[in-house]
Amino acid sequence: MSKKIIGIDLGGTSVKFAILTQEGEIQEKWSIKTNILDEGSHIVPDIIASIQHHLELLNLSAEDFIGIGMGSPGAVDRFEGTVVGAYNLNWKTVQPIKKDIESALGIPFFIDNDANVAALGERWKGAGENQPDVVFMTLGTGVGGGIVAEGKLLHGAGGVAGELGHITVDFDRPFDCTCGKKGCLETVASATGIVNLTRRYADEYAGDATLKRLIDDGEEVTAKTVFDLAKDGDELALIVYRHFSQYLGIACANIASVLNPANIVIGGGVSAAGQFLLDGVQKVFDENTFPQVRTSTQLVLANLGNDAGVIGAASLVLQ
C-alpha cells in the first residue's frame, strides 16, 4: 500500500483534517472545534490527540505516512515550523508547532500560511488544473491570495508575496485600509469592502431601490444581499456591482500583465456569487489586458470549497 499524507487546515473556528493519497485524493475527513482559550495553548495538543485517535480508529501508524502538512493563519516561519501573531487563535508568542507535532507523532511536518496553502490546493486539484502558473485570490472578510509560478509557491523577500488585498485600486475616493494605507483592493472587493461601496453609493442614490431601503432602515446588508439584489436588477445594487467589478477587474488585469498565469482562481465567501461575479470582472479584465495576456490568462471560480485547505496542506509534503 502506497504511503499517505495528513493535511490540516487550521482556522479560528475549526481545525479540518484529511488523510489523502499522494495523488491528492481525500480518503478520510474530520474536524474539531478550535479551542482558543488560555492563549491558544490547547490547539496543538488537541490536534495531536485527534490525529492519534483517528490513526487508532483506522488502524494506521506513523509508518503509513510520508508527512503532515498544515496551513495556518498568522506569520508562519516555514523553515522553523513556527507561527506567531495569529490573533484569531490567541497566539501572540512563537508556537513551536513542528517540534511539538513531530516529537509526539514521529511524522515529518510541513507548514505554510493558510492563503498560500489554499492556493496550492486549488492549483493542484481544483480550478488551477495543475498548471505551472496559477494565481489564487480569496475574497472573504479580507482579500488574500497565493501565487504559484513556474511550479513554485512564491513567498517573496519579506514573506508577503501573494498578499493581493493590498494592491492599490481606488485612487479617487480611497477608503482607509487596516494595513495603514488607502485604496487597497480589500477595501472595495472583500465582504466588508462591498458593504463600504454600498454605503458610499447609497448616500448618493436618490431612487427607490430595495437596497437603498434596506440601508435606510438600518437592516443588515451583506455582500450576498448586494449580489442577490443585483442579479434581480436592483438599481443601486447594480451600481455597487459595477464598481466592485471595475476594481477587481483592474486588479486581476494588472496581476495578469505582471505574471501571465494560466488561471486566476477566485475563491472565498464572496465568490459564492458565482458566474454573475465572474462576468462583471471578465468584462473589465478584457478591456485592460493586452491581447497575448487576454487570450492566455483565464479567470475562473475556485471549485474545491472548504477542501482547498487540507488538499493544499497535504501538497506541502510533496514540494
Residues that bind a second copy (CB under 8 A): 131, 133, 147, 149-150, 152-164, 166-168, 171, 177, 179-181, 183-184, 250, 253-255, 257-262, 287-293, 295-297
Compute the least distance from the CB of residue 200 to a second copy, in Å.
Answer: 17
d(CA 264, CA 133): 9
Of residues 254 and 282, the one with the C-beta less far from a second copy: 254
Read off the amino acid at residue 3.
K
Query: Helix 235-259 crosses helix 223-231 at what angle (to 10 degrees)?
Result: 110
Of residues 41 and 260, the one with the C-beta less far from a second copy: 260
Of residues 14 and 319, the one with the C-beta less far from a second copy: 319
**Bridge-partner residues for 4, per DSSP?**
65
- Residue 90 exposed, middle or buried by CB count within 10 Å (0-12, 13-18, 19+): middle
Residue with cell 471560480: 301
Compute the least distance from the CB of residue 116 to a second copy, in Å.
Answer: 12
Of residues 54 and 155, the one with the C-beta less far from a second copy: 155
Compute the least distance from the CB of residue 90 to a second copy, in Å.
Answer: 22
Of 190, 110, 109, 120, residue with least CA distance to 162 = 120
HSE at residue 5, side-chain half, CA atoms within 13 A, is: 24
- Using H for helix, E for strand and C for coil, what is the string for 234-260? CHHHHHHHHHHHHHHHHHHHHHHHHHC
Of residues 90 and 257, the one with the C-beta less far from a second copy: 257
Read off the amino acid at residue 257.
S
Compute the least distance from the CB of residue 180 to a second copy, in Å.
Answer: 6
Compute the least distance from the CB of residue 61 to a second copy, in Å.
Answer: 35
Q: Maximum Cα–Cα distance for the chain, whole Å? A: 67
d(CA 219, CA 214): 5
d(CA 31, CA 105): 18
Of residues 68 and 262, the one with the C-beta less far from a second copy: 262
111: which 3 cell numbers? 507548514
Of residues 52 and 178, the one with the C-beta less far from a second copy: 178
Compute the least distance from the CB of residue 205 to a second copy, in Å.
Answer: 23
Compute the least distance from the CB of residue 106 to a second copy, in Å.
Answer: 30
